[in-house]
Amino acid sequence: MSTQGQVPFVEIERVIGTTVVIRIPVKTGGAAQSLTGATVYFEANPQGTTGALTYDSGGVGGISITNAAGGIATLTIPASATSSLTVKTIYDFDIWMKNAADERYPLCRGTLTFLLNQVTIV
């Protein structure tokens, strides 16, 4: 993991057609940031496009606040959503939150690439 500005940048590779689970810890100055009253968002798009994968902890779903006081959310992208994606396409993603006052804070950005399930023969 590296940082661009103060927002962590991560590169994730997963197998196409599998469920993707990403734990999202939210911290401020190294301490857990409460997610009480907040909504966490995730959006991933093939580079140069928009709207491929969109999830949130509100009306759309796919993100659960697993520990509000401890600042932990969990993103789950179901296998049914990843099975129709294009292999080796790089998806740029952003994760952000809006607090109870509707102020937006970036949490993480990066790339998500889906690969074929490869078998190595020895």
User: pLDDT tens digits, residue range 81-94?
Assistant: 988 888 888 999 99
Cα–Cα nearest to 22, from 119, 85, 108: 108
- Reported as a single tens digit per residue, the pLDDT across 66-81 is 999 999 999 999 999 9
Q: What is the pLDDT of residue 116?
A: 85
- Cβ neighbors of 65 (< 8 A, separation 6 or more) are 35, 38, 40, 57, 72, 73
Which fold, 2-115? Immunoglobulin-like (2.60.40)
Residues 92 and 14: their CA atoms lie apart, in Å, by: 14
pTM: 0.86
The Cα 42–Cα 80 span in angstroms is 17
Q: Distance (Å, rounded) from C-alpha 51 to C-alpha 45? A: 6
Instruction: Give percent of the chain above pLDDT 70.
Output: 91
Which residues have a Cβ under 8 Å from the Cβ of 115 and sit 6 or more positions away?
A: 13, 14, 15, 16, 87, 88
Average pLDDT of the chain to the nearest whole number: 88
Q: How confident is the model at residue 95 (pLDDT cuts 50, 70, 90)?
A: very high
